[in-house]
């Protein structure tokens, strides 16, 4: 049977009952609903309904389809709306390749950036089906639903444009692929918190400059992490274990960290941290934020004094990936449903292993390797990559009586 479609688009001032009135009219005709999209911006409505009907339905002025047109036009006039109708044969319609979500983050988001992103999408032969805002502050986040593009090719094109426009752009497959993400695994130093813990410890030991230099070499991937850790920890020999309490008070969470963890836990995600730092500090974060899983190194302490050594297996670059896999097994979640977030070379293996790897304010080598990069200083921007808009986060916080004192 030759099936055809009719696209009905209503635009104008929004008012209660528009959607119900339109569908009540359509209910009187031999059509089925194929697609619906509705957007309201500052009180102005755009409602699109795609209906399908058999090709043998009479289409003349006095035929069934003609009567439907007349009924829809009268309803639109009664509601004070403009209406547009267009028909096509479904057999001739362009078959859409997999739908994608393109998420754009900017602070601020300039028109030139959106022009560049939209231009690249069009040049790739793809179509923007829908645009919606996920956040207006502290960063602006716009999400585009795109069809007709190869995800890998489009990701490469948009990465180049994002760099030129100084915005962040993520490309993900739509539908269940994104909504299935259920385990978040995050680096700690310079990601969940705004410092490198070993440097805080080194400041108390009087060796900050030397430790910072070795840390930077390791983060750039110029030095084996395990060796760099041993060299830095050796400089802490002789510190009293009382230093841990002092450093805990100096740790500052990255803006948006509490909102990110609280929101994901509310949505029944599992949240984990994996750190090249130390359990003497990460254990406090686990308790404070309600984190499900954690892995970190442990500084050896004898008679209340740091020995300058670590105990047990070192959590290094391969160790972080193994921790992600272990957390996923314990949570009963496939690796494809995990998200890894980090900033340094030590995070590369877990970012590569996860279903979605995110570079957060990261070194160039990590940005190039990750699926997407976020360069704004707000950790809760990660929520937008998962399709969670800010107004829903705020509404849930208000319902729970949460007073937000961060971003």
Residues 244, 130 within the same domain: no
Residue 332's domain spans which residues? 183-400
Residues 374, 297 within the same domain: yes
- Active-site option among 187, 343, 347, 371: 187
User: Residue 54 pLDDT more than 80?
Assistant: no
Between CA 386 and CA 407 the distance in angstroms is: 18
What is the pLDDT at residue 66? 83
Give the CATH number for residue 371. Answer: 3.40.50.1000
Helix (H, G, I), strand (E, B) or coil at 308: strand
Residue-averaged pLDDT of the chain: 89
Give the CATH number for residue 70. Answer: 3.30.70.260
User: Residue 105 pLDDT more than 60?
Assistant: yes
Provide the whole-model pTM. 0.77
Residues 159, 219 within the same domain: no
Confidence band, pLDDT 50/70/90 cuts, at residue 405: low
User: 277-328 pLDDT, tens per residue?
Assistant: 999 999 999 999 999 999 999 999 999 999 999 999 999 999 999 999 999 9
User: 153-189 pLDDT, tens per residue?
Assistant: 999 999 999 999 999 999 988 765 666 678 999 999 9
Share of the chain above pLDDT 70, in %: 92
What is the pLDDT at residue 216? 82
Residues 339, 190 within the same domain: yes
The token pair at 344 is 């340094």
Confidence band, pLDDT 50/70/90 cuts, at residue 359: very high
- Active-site option among 14, 129, 152, 189: 189
In a domain, 94, yes or no: no
The token pair at 289 is 């934020």
Residues 129, 253 within the same domain: no
What is the pLDDT at residue 65? 79
Q: Give the domain-ending residue among 65, 89, 113.
A: 89
Angle among Cα 119, 120, 125 to the nearest 5 degrees reads: 95
User: Residue 67 pLDDT more than 70?
Assistant: yes
What is the pLDDT at residue 26? 93
Q: Give the domain-ending residue among 155, 179, 203.
A: 179
User: 2-50 pLDDT, tens per residue?
Assistant: 678 889 999 999 999 999 999 999 999 989 998 888 877 778 888 999 9
CA-closest candidate to residue 243, choices 204, 199, 198, 286: 204
Q: Would strands 338-342 and 305-311 be described as parallel, antiparallel, or unpaired?
A: unpaired
309-331: burial string, b at 16+ Cβ within 10 Å, e else: ebeeebbbbebbbbbbbebbeeb
What is the pLDDT at residue 61? 46
Residues 289, 368 within the same domain: yes
Mean pLDDT (whole number) for 347-370:
94
Comparing 94 with 406, the larger pLDDT belongs to: 406
Residues 173, 233 within the same domain: no
Residues 161, 264 within the same domain: no
In a domain, 278, yes or no: yes
Between CA 234 and CA 237 the distance in angstroms is: 6
Number of domains in the chain: 3
What is the pLDDT at residue 46? 87
**Has 349 been annotated as catalytic?**
no
**Has 268 been annotated as catalytic?**
no
Residues 314, 332 within the same domain: yes
Confidence band, pLDDT 50/70/90 cuts, at residue 406: low
**H or E segment and range at residue 226:** helix 225-234
In a domain, 95, yes or no: no
Between CA 347 and CA 352 the distance in angstroms is: 9
What is the pLDDT at residue 92? 40
Comparing 34 with 89, the larger pLDDT belongs to: 34
In a domain, 406, yes or no: no
């Amino acid at each position: 049977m030759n099936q055809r479609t009719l696209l009905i688009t209503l635009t104008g001032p929004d008012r209660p009952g528009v959607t119900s009135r339109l569908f009540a009219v359509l209910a009187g005709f031999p059509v089925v609903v194929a697609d619906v999209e509705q957007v309201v911006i500052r009180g102005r409505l755009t409602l699109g309904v795609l209906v399908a009907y058999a090709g043998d339905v009479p289409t003349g002025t006095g035929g069934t389809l003609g009567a439907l047109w007349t009924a829809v036009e009268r309803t639109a006039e009664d509601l004070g709306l403009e209406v547009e109708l267009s028909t096509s044969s479904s057999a001739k319609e362009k078959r859409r390749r997999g739908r994608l979500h393109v998420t754009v983050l900017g602070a601020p988001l300039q028109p030139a950036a959106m022009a560049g992103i939209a231009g690249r999408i069009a040049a790739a032969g793809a179509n923007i089906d829908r645009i919606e805002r996920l956040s207006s502050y502290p960063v602006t986040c716009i999400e585009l639903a795109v069809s007709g593009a190869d995800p890998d090719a489009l990701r490469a094109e948009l990465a180049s444009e994002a760099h030129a426009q100084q915005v962040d752009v993520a490309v993900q497959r739509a539908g269940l692929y994104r909504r299935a993400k259920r385990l978040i695994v995050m680096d700690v130093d310079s990601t969940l918190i705004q410092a490198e813990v070993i440097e805080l410890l080194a400041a108390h030991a009087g060796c900050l400059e030397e430790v910072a230099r070795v840390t930077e070499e390791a983060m750039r991937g110029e030095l084996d992490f395990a060796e760099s850790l041993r060299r830095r920890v050796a400089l802490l020999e002789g510190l009293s274990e009382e230093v841990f309490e002092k450093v805990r008070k100096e740790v500052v969470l990255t803006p948006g960290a509490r909102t990110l963890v609280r929101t994901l836990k509310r949505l029944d995600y599992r949240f984990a941290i994996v750190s090249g730092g130390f359990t003497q500090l990460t254990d406090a974060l686990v308790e404070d934020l309600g984190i499900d899983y954690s892995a970190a190194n442990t500084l050896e302490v004898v008679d209340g004094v740091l020995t300058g050594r670590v105990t047990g297996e070192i959590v290094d670059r391969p160790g972080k990936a193994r921790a992600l896999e272990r957390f996923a097994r314990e949570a009963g979640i496939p690796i494809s449903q995990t998200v890894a977030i980090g900033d340094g070379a030590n995070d590369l293996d877990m970012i590569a292993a996860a279903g979605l790897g995110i570079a957060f304010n990261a070194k160039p080598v990590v940005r190039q390797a990750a699926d997407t990069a976020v360069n704004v200083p707000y950790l809760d921007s990660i929520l937008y990559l998962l399709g969670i808009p800010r107004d829903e986060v705020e509404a849930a916080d208000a319902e729970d009586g949460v007073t937000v004192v961060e971003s």
